[in-house]
Chains A and B, each alone.
Chain A
Amino acid sequence: MSTDISVPGSPGGPERSATRDAPGVHGDHERTAPQGRRPRASLRHRIYHSFLLRRLLRSVFVIWVVATGVFLMVRLLPGNPVDVYINQQIALYGKSYEQAAAEAQNYFRFDPSTPIWRQYLDYLLGLLRGDMGTSIATPGVTVTEKIAQYLPWTLYSVGLALLISITVGLLLGMIMAYRRGGVIDHAVSIIGSGLHAIPNYLLAILIVVVGAVQLGVIDYTRMRGNVSPGVEPELSFRFLSDIGYHATLPMLTYILTTVGTWALIMKASTTQVLGEDYVTVARARGLKDARIQGNYVGRNALLPLIAQIATQAGFIVGGAIFVEQTFSYEGVGLLLFESINSRDYPTIQGVLLVVTITVVLANLAADLVNAALDPRIRLGEGGAA
């Protein structure tokens, strides 16, 4: 890169070429490109990168806003938990204010006696280091440790359920679109509408009431928790089948409540694509059905759904608080529920923050996949839309 110092015919002459070494690789590469095809390629390259950068900045911004909101919620609002905690310690255990304030600092990750801007700065710097304070309900355990213990179970159960639900739903949706008015179309539409109407927490309760207690086909008490006692976490069939067994009911609930929706969305999308001219043309060209279904219809029907998948991920993570509580599945939803009941504010904040970050990352991934598949998005997006 440092070799092509002078470009024939480039405006600016020696003056510019002298300063050119400084701006860095990117600028150099661009300016030294011949006038033919390469500028276009590098322009696209640059826009793609700025799309990525813009998207990343937006994600960071959202996380910062939520972190700030959490800080304000704890510190500034009337009846803030820091003061409540300090007064409680003084009243109940006769501690001195300094002692109670020091404990509050440990729990909430800021010292109430320092100026507010300083508290805020310390708090943000603490977050950057992954320091979210200490749990009040279980003294000595940091919030980060707690979340690290619970979050993987939610990601595993929700993620796997989402994967199964989407795969089955999209396949069903395509079949429904190709055989409109058929048995599968009718059955999935009716069952899907019915299941969609049942909130996931009520379905969870129905599974326990009907499946476990009335019919006795589900061993509800044995399926509680994440693993059976005595099963060690290791990469063995015994462990994997055991965690699969314990995650069955939550996953079943997520899958049943969402699969019909996916099928109906995919059916609508596929039906629309089937009416497009290029499908008719492909048929007229005598292309094989399998190729039309895969390359022409499936791909184009799927594109608009990717963003929705991320939204759904956020929705399921939210629904986990109900489902995990019903099945005593020790994920981040149950952690949030227990923290709320024990008024463990540092943990509540931590869960809110981590759940938000998870959803932000899911959205980011969906946008990047979308941009990779559909150039219109990264080229056309004007920043606002």
Chain B
Amino acid sequence: MTTTSPPVTDPEAGLPAPSASAGVSPLRRLLSELTRSTAGFIGLLLVLAILAVSLIGPLIMGTSVPGDPARAWEAPSSAHWLGLEGGGKDTLHLLVTGGRTVLMVGFLAAAITTVIAVAIGSLAGYFGGRFDALMLQLTDVVMTIPQIVLLAVVGAFYKLDSPTLLAVIIGTLSWPVLMRSIRAQVLSLKEREFVEAAQLLDVGWVRIVFGEIVPNMASYILINFIIAVTNAIYAMVGLYLLGLAPQRGNNWGIMINDAWTKGAMFNPDAMPYIIAPVTMIVLLQLGLILLTRTLEEILNPRLRDR
């Protein structure tokens, strides 16, 4: 789909997702294929760069940003590359320190979503029966309510004080979609010979489900984990931007909200303050999306052009 990548000619690339016994670990194979595709490589670089800046940057520059209100909205200069914001704080400094929360919430929420979805989805698919029916009903309900609306309402009833709490709530509200596709995959995987063999050996359902079936979906789960990260970032930045999550600390969502409510867009000197965090989020999302698109293409050759 991403056309910047030349068609991969490696004969092995056309194989469907290999079983766990393929020698080289599927994740490593994935990585080597990823670096061979231009779009995938750009995506990987973008994500790694933003991760590095947001995780290492604060260690060098310090996490607390001193502000001098007398110098509010100063234009960009050699000392302050992106100028100063309304409280006289350095915009670049805020930008570097503001990524942590976004990434933390994104990855934590995605991890929670993925763990719940994989656990429930694989068990529901493997055992079927009442548990399966109950879980399907539950996903039916949760999937129907638009997630953002639900989050906003939950935010209205509870104080979403800490980013960690926000991540937990986003994570626990967004597993149903992934759970359904994991369940569908397990339904087909459990008919395979290696599952039958494991059942004959009587190794117990825990090992069959999580030792035999789930590893076969590793790459698929990885893709969906990255998609979950983009969705969680979409939701959390949106909540901060609307002011529905408390405006404490510093992150890109709060920066945009602050810039918007203070009318930064009408002040030419303040432009970097609103454009910079928007750019960071867009670049992060773009990197993640390029990454997933390329991974999907590698794993599902039918999507690839010819």
Q: Which residues of A contact B (CB under 8 A)?
A: 58, 61-62, 65-66, 73, 77, 79, 81, 180-181, 185-186, 189-190, 193-194, 196-199, 201-202, 205-206, 208-209, 213-214, 264, 267-268, 271-272, 275, 314-315, 317-319, 321-322, 325, 336-337, 339-341, 343, 345, 348-349, 351-352, 355-356, 359-360, 363, 384
Contact = CB atoms under 8 A, between A and B. Distances in A.
A6 to B, nearest CB: 43
A62 B133 CA distance: 14
B281 to A, nearest CB: 6
- Contact residue range for chain B? 35 or more
Interface stretch (B91-99, B153-161, B198-206): B153-161
B144 A360 contact: yes
Given A197-B285, A199-B234, A317 B156 contact: no
Contacts of A189: 1-4
Contacts of A61: 137, 140
A185 B3 CA distance: 8
B155 A340 contact: yes
A208 B265 contact: yes
A77 B306 contact: no
Contacts of B155: 340
Contact of A190 (B3, B157, B260, B266): B3
Given A62-B140, A209-B275, A181 B149 contact: no
A51 to B, nearest CB: 16
Given A199-B234, A352-B153, A314 B146 contact: yes
A190 B289 CA distance: 12
Contacts of B244: 340
B241 interface: yes
B289 A322 contact: no
Contacts, number: 134
A336 B244 CA distance: 11
B2 A321 contact: no
Given A198-B285, A199-B285, A384-B136, A205 B256 contact: yes
B24 interface: no
Contact of B149 (A267, A271, A355): A355
Contact of A318 (B2, B149, B256, B286): B149
A359 B149 CA distance: 12
Given A209-B275, A272-B302, A359-B146, A321 B133 contact: no
- Lowest 4 A-B CB distances belong to which pairs? A318-B146, A197-B286, A318-B148, A197-B285
B242 A322 contact: yes
Given A189-B1, A189-B2, A340-B155, A318 B242 contact: no
A321 B3 contact: no
Nearest to B289: A197
A384 B124 CA distance: 12
- Majority DSSP secondary structure for residues of B touching A: helix
B242 A325 contact: yes
Given A197-B286, A201-B241, A340-B155, A355 B3 contact: no
Given A193-B2, A197-B285, A340-B152, A355 B136 contact: no
B261 to A, nearest CB: 11
Contacts of B169: none
18 contacts: A61-B137, A61-B140, A65-B141, A189-B1, A194-B286, A199-B238, A202-B237, A209-B275, A214-B271, A264-B1, A268-B303, A271-B303, A271-B305, A317-B146, A322-B148, A337-B242, A356-B145, A384-B136
A337 B243 CA distance: 10
A384 B1 contact: no
B281 A202 contact: yes
B278 A352 contact: no
A107 to B, nearest CB: 15
Interface in B248-294: 256, 260, 265-266, 271, 274-275, 278, 281-282, 285-286, 288-290, 293
A318 B145 CA distance: 9
Contacts of B238: 199, 201, 322
A180 B133 CA distance: 42
Contact of A66 (B141, B237, B265, B290): B141
B162 interface: no
B1 A268 contact: yes
A339 B305 CA distance: 49
Nearest to B234: A199
Contacts of A213: 265-266
Given A193-B293, A202-B281, A205-B274, A359 B145 contact: yes
A321 B141 CA distance: 21
Contacts of A209: 265, 271, 274-275
Given A65-B141, A264-B1, A268-B303, A193 B286 contact: yes
Contacts of B132: 384
Contacts of B145: 66, 352, 355-356, 359
A65 B39 CA distance: 44
